[in-house]
Amino acid sequence: MSQLNQAHFGFTKLLVQDLEASAKFYTEVCGLTELARVDAEIASRPISEIMFNPTGAGAAMFVLLSFTDTGNKGGHSVIVGFQTEDIAAFVQRAVDAGGSIVDPVKDNPDHGVRVGFVSDPEGNLIEVVQVLEQLEIYKH
């Protein structure tokens, strides 16, 4: 087996301006729990980051990262995706926590899901998916 075949997706880092406000948003809306905080450097620039526990067995880790030497430009630096059993409740929690609806929830019967897009208070896009039927693509 080649080294390339041994790689797997492990985490997403979302660049944000206000680390604490973003952590509060993702904790309240997605139920994430903090794993650790790190102050370090990337390319000789100081950073602070908050790592969150994976939400399930084999799930990837979500990390919020802020460069502390200059203002960050949050918003649309990455799209993060969350799967939920109650998409309406997730969207409402996002709005209640200071986010906004970008694209309302729509059924996508070809993929057996309902999908909507919200944004966090800094404008970062969040794709929210509710599986309606267990299609082959979701059987991992």
DSSP string, 60-86: PEEEEEEESSS----SSS-EEEEE-S-
pLDDT at 72: 59
pLDDT at 81: 87
Q: For the chain, 140 residues long, give each residue's pLDDT as a single digit of tens.
A: 455 555 566 789 999 999 999 999 999 999 999 999 999 988 788 999 999 999 988 889 999 999 898 765 555 578 888 989 899 999 999 999 999 999 999 998 888 899 999 999 998 989 899 988 754 444 44
| Helix count and strand count (H, E) for the chain | 2, 8
Q: What is the pTM assigned to this prediction?
A: 0.74
pLDDT at 121: 94
List the one residue out of 122, 126, 129, 49 whose CA is nearest residue 80. Answer: 126
Within a domain: residue 4? no
Within a domain: residue 3? no
Within a domain: residue 2? no
pLDDT at 5: 54
Within a domain: residue 76? yes
Within a domain: residue 75? yes
Measured in Å, how far apart are the chain's first and last C-alpha atoms? 21
pLDDT at 114: 94
User: For residue 61, what is the domain's CATH number?
Assistant: 3.10.180.10
Within a domain: residue 42? yes
The residue segments making up the domain with residue 16 are 9-138
Within a domain: residue 1? no
Within a domain: residue 112? yes
Domain count along the chain: 1
